[in-house]
Structure 1
């Protein structure tokens, strides 16, 4: 067999090639490894970089560890393992936007070898607070001994990523401290159940004070100092516990991610609870424990279930009491109140910040948004910015640092405003180096106005990854005249209301709906169907439109740089001013059938960059709906008023049509735009 041309390269060059291929297109690393024995010997360090376990029972874990050790020893790769990932049985069932646009999907085996993973990929996929960790661990400490044996055999282990619902096993923690003192521990299921007890559980205290603890993700429930996640509200001391950790108990802690689910501070009879007793602090802390404040690199104050919780001034003040000057990433997923923004959230306090996520409070004065822009403008090191609930009619472009590489702009759902062509072009001009972009734009049945928005996106010269949210929500209603006769269940009897008639509406479209959505018309349902209908043909047309502009303005190489786009329609059920329960029940099947989320990826090969692959991301979920709703309630769906509107758009084809939920196509883009 002839020698591969790669064999003439030095090992150092081959290692660099492996690293590049692993970052750009992981499947190609397998082809590289098969080129020759020499290439395989260089590449296998990445194949065994990460070991993942998802233990369900003790006997299974022991068998998995034994098999893992045999494979490592047979391939002389014990020294190649750098990351040990311990997940739970629900791993891999979640698909986040950020993971889809930047990472590969995992599998569901109980254990596997794998390529390097990032912390952001894992945090996007693990179960949230809705899957509560068990109060009592079913896997005893002895059951985790096989992992202890594995840790002792891995001299290069650098990170343990623990995302299991059970608490960190004491034996595993002790093994890290004894055999791998330089290893970093990342706990994605951090919890402290004994905070409200007189004595702190030693097994819960051990990770808190462990010098290997590097990052924590904690989901907890409650407001006003109480946790209503139990049968009766109980005192909640999570905030005080984290403060204590950051100020001295966890000196090597670098990342804190807190996710709060709101709860009411009321007793069973709805009476307000008495004041919460003060926390006694951590007990059983050894005298030899260090008392050095942590220098955080990443802080996230998040929400569970995207609950409407504000970031109060008191919370901002409490965190400001710590030294946050070392922060590289700050993610505020709670609505930042003006008082919190004006007190300590100042750019001068974050000199090294490169990543910012900021959630705007709604319905604020102009001065509030000016302060937000002032904060952003004062962070010259910023390379990644995510803004949530920004008013689409306010320009943000002038405040953005020119060195920005990622921009996730989630504009508020404002009925009268949306991002227009001018706003997008302004962003493109002010952010010439943006490679990852997320925007929401409004669909209008593929009209020239809509196509102009796609063309404006082509003005981002360095764009490589695009997350495009298509707003398909109906238009709002408006008052027309006082009326004492017409009203509805929402108490709006002082005025009569109506909705606009689009020029494209025919006589049938102008008819008001009789399905509880008055004063909306048949034509508004028609438009919602057309705008929601996103098939592969439309997704590819949008991709081509953007690339065509990039090619004409910046050259063919700029167009080929756009290698991934995620497109998703939202808002089909968002009828303004109406109770969403009724339309959600009746229109949900149509939204699922028509509103498909597409991931388009360009082939990584240099000689096949023109090949675009499209994937229906939610196909598995939709098929489940087919079996549960579309089939069991097929007659119900056909009898609804909306089916007649659906069939006006996509008539049955005798001898061709099969299932109505597959018998449709998207509306084409306006070719004259």
Structure 2
């Protein structure tokens, strides 16, 4: 590109070009070449060159050396150009003597993997060390001096950056450029009392505290409680008035709460906690306290919710997301919290909730609520009555996620879709569709509460209903979408219907073991995987460019077929299963992968489960079947 062409570009376009060059070239050679084109290009590239500062932390000396290099450059070009600071790695803590040091030469180690990668300021990321939890480290004078020497230069450096907006902290280089639109303090290791000063930036508006532990670490260290409650609350309460959001994600495996209740009492911590304090409680607009370990969610305890309400000002809270695990007594605490908060705009409950919880949401937050996410890993399923209550109480709801039971397309299921369409501003719905058939009367009164014994006809009925629920395809998605849209057309005053997207995620509730499913003995229906389509995520959406709103696009997740044959099912049940399949899809030719389709939404009464074959008249029958 010639110089006149570059000179003719607006300055914001030159900024975008320089940002692209800085993202694609870790060593900034492209930016340097761009700066040689003209004085104007030099000014733009210099501004972009020092917009991001990335530090790789190895030890005290290397950190001080890197900070010295940046000080020399920024004194010349200006500290005010730095808007994003990213710290990768952590200073090594004192370790147990019996634990060997992990080096970069160890095959498969964290250092070994990152040996050939580099960050933005040419500091090799291979200078990482494995970060151990500091919960066992005694806060003696030697340790305190060690920590002060390590982190105080970084704290002093941060205080020199008046325009700093985004502060990211990660054990590994996991954040990349995602921090550009999000201001946060992010950690993948424990929060140390002596690292508190990193939250003193006058423009910091989002704190994301992340802790991580693994089973392998747990075998070596008795306990790894990375997130310390008092330290975290000190960070929040000391933050500037611009702080509006907090996200706590504790990836731990052997604790039952997101916080450690043991408060540190070291004199140094007490001294540091009072320095540079803004005073008062943090006034948060967004709060996300939660904890995960792989696929296991560790809950907030009842005391955690109480401490959050005591130590933070939640009067201006607009967005709340809670992972309350599966503790039984947490439901009452969540209900109380919902009743005392001011109306929320978005609410996400990743934990147990009951009908009373739904009533509290409708009563205290319904008019202002725009987004409602209810987890599917709970016993409560949203039926037509609950959905009608949500629709009438939340007229401004635009996005909803909930769990419902797939009941063969009967009247109850269709009524739930119709109630969903009663929300005049609803744009997107995500449905976790439970496809497993449950027996409302799983126990026999004839044998003193023992499980019922199902005969062959009942087993056939259960299998057929299970197959109907599992058959989810594009035709069914379009039918559900049409039902919701027709219902919304009767209540919406907009020229175009706002409902644009429907997502259906089939899943099965049997993992929860909340009730005994009405299935054949030996868990036969648990093995009836038609194919992976039933487990795929389906999405049906309108084309926003279509003025008539009659064009729908259906997409789905990847398919990994799991064919059914005589070897995948117990031989004694294969004949029954095959008969049930052919009764639903008489055109069956032996291919379980393609010879099936969804059945229409009938809108009829609930299938009667008391009789062995009651309710089958609404399904296709084979020739000669009575």
Say whether the fold is shared (TM-score over 0.5).
Answer: yes
**Contact 1:435 1:465 survives alignment (8 Å):** yes
Which of 146, 166, 170 aligns to 2:172? It is 166
**TM-aligned CA deviation for residue 468 of structure 1:** 1.9
**Contact 1:310 1:361 survives alignment (8 Å):** yes
After superposition, residues 183-262 of structure 1 pair within 5 angstroms as: 185-192=183-190, 207-211=198-202, 213-220=204-211, 229=218, 231-234=220-223, 236=225, 238-248=228-238, 253-261=243-251
C-alpha separation between the residues in 1 aligned to 2:230 and 2:216?
Answer: 14
SS of the equivalent of 1:474 reads coil
Structure 1 unaligned segments of length 5 or more: list them: 1-39, 87-131, 149-154, 267-274, 336-358, 484-493, 502-506, 511-520
1:295 corresponding residue in structure 2:
282
1:489 corresponding residue in structure 2:
none
Moved more, 652-661 or 313-322: 652-661
C-alpha separation between the residues in 1 aligned to 2:30 and 2:273?
Answer: 37
> Are residues 1:385 and 2:327 paired?
no
C-alpha separation between the residues in 2 aligned to 1:286 and 1:278?
Answer: 12
1:461 corresponding residue in structure 2:
424
**TM-aligned CA deviation for residue 431 of structure 1:** 1.8
Distance change (3 Å), C-alpha of 1:69 and 1:447: farther
C-alpha separation between the residues in 2 aligned to 1:42 and 1:659?
Answer: 62
> Are residues 1:451 and 2:410 paired?
no
Which of 446, 459, 471 aligns to 1:533? It is 471
> Are residues 1:637 and 2:568 paired?
yes
**TM-aligned CA deviation for residue 42 of structure 1:** 11
**TM-aligned CA deviation for residue 597 of structure 1:** 1.6
SS of the equivalent of 2:443 reads strand
**TM-aligned CA deviation for residue 361 of structure 1:** 5.6
C-alpha separation between the residues in 2 aligned to 1:263 and 1:474?
Answer: 33
CA RMSD of aligned residues (A): 5.7
Distance change (3 Å), C-alpha of 1:475 and 1:671: closer
Which of 550, 558, 564 aligns to 2:488? It is 550
**Contact 1:48 1:80 survives alignment (8 Å):** no
After superposition, residues 78-97 of structure 1 pair within 5 angstroms as: none
Superimposed CA distance per residue, residues 34-87 of structure 1 (whole angstroms, 9 cap, x where no aligned partner): xxxxxx9799699779869999xxxx73389669979x999998689999799x
C-alpha separation between the residues in 2 aligned to 1:596 and 1:508?
Answer: 31
**TM-aligned CA deviation for residue 300 of structure 1:** 1.9
Superimposed CA distance per residue, residues 502-528 of structure 1 (whole angstroms, 9 cap, x where no aligned partner): xxxxx7442xxxxxxxxxx34334322
**TM-aligned CA deviation for residue 213 of structure 1:** 4.7
SS of the equivalent of 2:246 reads strand
2:317 corresponding residue in structure 1:
328
**TM-aligned CA deviation for residue 218 of structure 1:** 2.9
Distance change (3 Å), C-alpha of 1:639 and 1:217: same
**TM-aligned CA deviation for residue 295 of structure 1:** 3.2
Superimposed CA distance per residue, residues 92-132 of structure 1 (whole angstroms, 9 cap, x where no aligned partner): xxxxxxxxxxxxxxxxxxxxxxxxxxxxxxxxxxxxxxxx9
SS of the equivalent of 1:186 reads coil
After superposition, residues 350-499 of structure 1 pair within 5 angstroms as: 362=328, 371=336, 374-375=339-340, 379-380=342-343, 382-387=344-349, 388-392=351-355, 396=359, 397-410=362-375, 413-414=378-379, 418-476=381-439, 478-481=442-445, 495-498=449-452
**Contact 1:184 1:213 survives alignment (8 Å):** no
> Are residues 1:607 and 2:607 paired?
no
> Are residues 1:668 and 2:608 paired?
no
**Contact 2:188 2:211 survives alignment (8 Å):** no
1:563 corresponding residue in structure 2:
500
**Contact 2:463 2:525 survives alignment (8 Å):** no
**Contact 2:191 2:231 survives alignment (8 Å):** no
**Contact 1:213 1:253 survives alignment (8 Å):** yes
Structure 2 unaligned segments of length 5 or more: list them: 1-8, 55-107, 125-160, 606-626
SS of the equivalent of 1:390 reads coil
**TM-aligned CA deviation for residue 605 of structure 1:** 1.1
**Contact 1:235 1:277 survives alignment (8 Å):** no
Question: TM-score when scaled to structure 2?
Answer: 0.60
C-alpha separation between the residues in 2 aligned to 1:157 and 1:656?
Answer: 68
**TM-aligned CA deviation for residue 441 of structure 1:** 2.2
Larger radius of gyration: 2
C-alpha separation between the residues in 2 aligned to 1:404 and 1:549?
Answer: 21
**Contact 1:533 1:596 survives alignment (8 Å):** no
**TM-aligned CA deviation for residue 288 of structure 1:** 12
After superposition, residues 507-518 of structure 1 pair within 5 angstroms as: 508-510=456-458
**Contact 2:435 2:466 survives alignment (8 Å):** yes
1:12 corresponding residue in structure 2:
none
C-alpha separation between the residues in 2 aligned to 1:534 and 1:563?
Answer: 20
Distance change (3 Å), C-alpha of 1:235 and 1:649: closer
C-alpha separation between the residues in 2 aligned to 1:642 and 1:64?
Answer: 68
Aligned positions, number? 487
Distance change (3 Å), C-alpha of 1:250 and 1:190: farther
**TM-aligned CA deviation for residue 322 of structure 1:** 3.1
Distance change (3 Å), C-alpha of 1:240 and 1:644: farther
Distance change (3 Å), C-alpha of 1:295 and 1:455: same
**Contact 2:321 2:348 survives alignment (8 Å):** no
